[in-house]
Amino acid sequence: MDIFAYLYGLLVLFGGVMGYIRKDSVVSLVAGSVFGSLILYSARIVSKNPRNYQPMLGMSFLLMTLSSWRFSVTGAMMPMFYVSIISLLFVLRYSLRAYFE
């Protein structure tokens, strides 16, 4: 069971809900729900078969790219900078898994 991947998905989901609660941002709610759900699904796939890391790598890379772009546009540290860093760590984690497989 890939507990870190599940925590990552829950963090993204929770972030979307908090964006909606604090700023009334429907976009945050939808994006957090979609990305969080897809990451949780990818975590389930990786937990069942660790060699099937491609969905998780793809979702992490996509979220890293989008959050980095959003951070560069807004310049706001919260939350996009932190999402970018966490996503980068997951991209590195699964890239290393792919490299050493």
Spatial separation of the C-alpha atoms in residues 4 and 97, rounded to whole Å: 14
How high is the pLDDT of residue 86? 95
Neighbour count for residue 84 (Cβ, 10 Å): 20
Spatial separation of the C-alpha atoms in residues 25 and 3, rounded to whole Å: 29
For the record, the structure tokens of 87 come out as 């996503």
Instruction: Read off the pLDDT of residues 28-77 as tens digits, 9 standing for 90 and up.
Output: 999 999 999 999 999 999 999 989 999 999 999 999 999 999 999 988 88
Spatial separation of the C-alpha atoms in residues 84 and 52, rounded to whole Å: 23
How high is the pLDDT of residue 78? 83
